[in-house]
C-alpha cells in the first residue's frame, strides 16, 4: 500500500488542480480550482481550445460573465472525472463586497445548473474576509454551499463555523512559508517539521476546536509544500493536494502511516468556546500579522492572475 492509498483510509483526498486530464490516475473524490490554477491550465495547448470556444460562443457578453462561463466549463469537465464536488472561486476583486459576492456565487450556481450539474456537487469558493464570510452565510441559507479559502487564522475559522459554511481551506504551506521567512537563518527545518510545522499546528487547532464543539463545517487542509505536512494531517476531514505531491505520495510505501488527527480525542480536550462579531474578528485578525499579510497577499495574487486570464480571453476574442 502506498502513502496515497493509506491516507485515503483516514482522509478524503481532493485534487488541487485545473488540469482535469491529470485527475483520473489519482482517483480523488473532489477537486479544487482557483484563478491561478485555471490560468496555468488554459496556457497548456490541450486546454487553449476550450477557452477559445467559450470566448467565441459568448463574446457579446461582459468579460466577468465570460470568465464565469470558463470557470464553470472547467468545473464541468472536472466533475466528469471526479465522483464528488468541485470548488469554483468567486472573483477575488469582490473579496470586500458581500452583496457582489453573493450575486456572483448565485450566477456560478445558475450556470452549473444550466449545464445539468446538481448544486450539491459545487462549492463556491470565497476569500475568508469578514465580508466573504458574511456572503457565505447568506449563500448557505439559500442552499448554496461554500468553501472559504485564504484562511490563515483561528479567528477566520471560528467565524466560518459561526456562519455555518460547508467547508474551510486553511493554507498550511503559506503559513509555513511566512514563519520560515521570518526566522531566516534561525529556521530549523527538522525541528519545525511534522506536528511542529506552524501550518500543520494551525489546522490541528482548528480541527480540534470544530470537533470538540460539534461544528459541522468540514476542514480541508490546503497549500502543501511537502508530503510531510500532508501525512502529519492524516485524519483531517479532507486534504486538497497538488498533482505533483499526489504523485510523490503514490510512489512511497504507506504501510507505516497512522492517523494523526481524531475527532474523539478532540472531544476530550479542555477548550474554551469563542464568539466573534465583526469588531472582535477584525481586531483578532489584525493582531495576527502572518494572517493579515497572507490574506492580503493571497487576494492580490488571485486578482493578478484573474487579470492575466482576462487578457488571454480578450486576445482569444480578437
| Residues annotated as catalytic (active site), given as ranges | 125
Region of residue 116 (left: phi > 0; alpha: psi -120 to 50; beta: else) = left
For residue 2, give the DSSP letter. Answer: B
Q: Are 66 and 59 in contact (CB under 8 A)?
A: yes
If DSSP codes are grouped into helix, strand and coil, which group holds residue 318?
Answer: coil
Q: Which of 98, 99, 222 is nearest to 150 (CA)?
A: 222
C-beta atoms surrounding 253 within 10 Å:
10
- Scored b (16 or more CB within 10 A) or e, 265-284 reads ebeeeeeeebebeeeebeeb
Q: Are 250 and 2 in contact (CB under 8 A)?
A: yes
Reduce the secondary structure of 30-44 to three states and give it as a string. Answer: EEECCHHHHHHHHCC
* φ/ψ (deg, to 5) at 31: -145, 150
Amino acid at each position: 500500500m502506498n502513502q496515497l492509498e493509506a491516507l485515503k483510509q483516514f482522509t478524503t483526498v481532493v485534487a488541487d488542480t485545473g488540469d482535469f486530464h491529470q485527475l483520473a490516475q489519482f482517483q480523488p473524490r473532489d477537486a479544487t480550482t482557483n484563478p491561478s490554477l485555471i490560468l496555468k491550465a488554459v496556457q497548456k495547448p490541450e486546454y487553449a481550445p476550450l477557452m477559445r470556444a467559450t470566448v467565441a460562443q459568448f463574446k457579446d457578453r461582459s468579460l466577468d460573465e465570460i470568465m464565469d462561463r470558463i470557470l464553470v466549463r472547467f468545473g464541468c469537465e472536472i466533475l466528469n472525472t471526479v465522483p464528488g464536488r468541485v470548488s469554483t472561486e468567486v472573483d477575488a476583486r469582490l473579496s470586500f463586497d458581500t452583496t457582489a459576492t453573493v450575486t456572483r456565487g448565485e450566477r456560478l450556481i445558475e450556470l452549473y445548473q444550466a449545464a445539468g450539474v446538481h448544486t450539491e456537487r459545487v462549492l463556491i469558493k470565497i476569500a475568508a474576509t469578514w465580508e466573504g464570510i458574511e456572503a457565505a452565510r447568506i449563500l448557505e441559507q439559500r442552499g448554496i454551499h461554500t468553501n472559504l479559502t485564504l484562511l490563515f487564522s483561528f479567528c477566520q475559522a471560528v467565524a466560518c463555523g459561526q456562519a455555518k459554511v460547508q467547508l474551510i481551506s486553511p493554507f498550511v504551506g503559506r503559513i509555513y512559508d511566512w514563519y520560515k521567512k521570518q526566522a531566516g537563518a534561525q529556521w530549523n527545518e527538522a525541528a519545525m517539521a511534522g506536528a511542529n510545522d506552524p501550518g500543520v499546528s494551525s489546522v490541528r487547532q482548528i480541527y480540534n476546536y470544530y470537533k470538540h464543539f460539534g461544528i459541522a463545517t468540514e476542514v480541508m487542509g490546503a497549500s502543501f509544500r511537502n508530503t510531510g505536512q500532508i501525512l502529519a494531517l492524516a485524519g483531517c476531514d479532507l486534504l486538497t493536494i497538488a498533482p505533483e505531491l499526489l504523485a510523490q505520495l503514490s510512489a512511497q510505501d504507506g504501510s507505516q502511516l497512522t492517523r494523526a488527527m481524531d475527532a474523539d480525542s478532540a472531544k476530550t480536550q479542555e477548550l474554551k468556546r469563542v464568539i466573534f462579531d465583526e469588531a472582535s474578528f477584525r481586531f483578532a485578525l489584525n493582531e495576527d500579522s502572518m494572517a493579515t499579510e497572507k490574506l492580503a497577499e493571497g487576494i492580490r495574487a488571485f486578482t493578478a492572475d484573474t487579470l492575466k486570464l482576462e487578457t488571454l480571453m480578450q486576445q482569444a476574442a480578437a
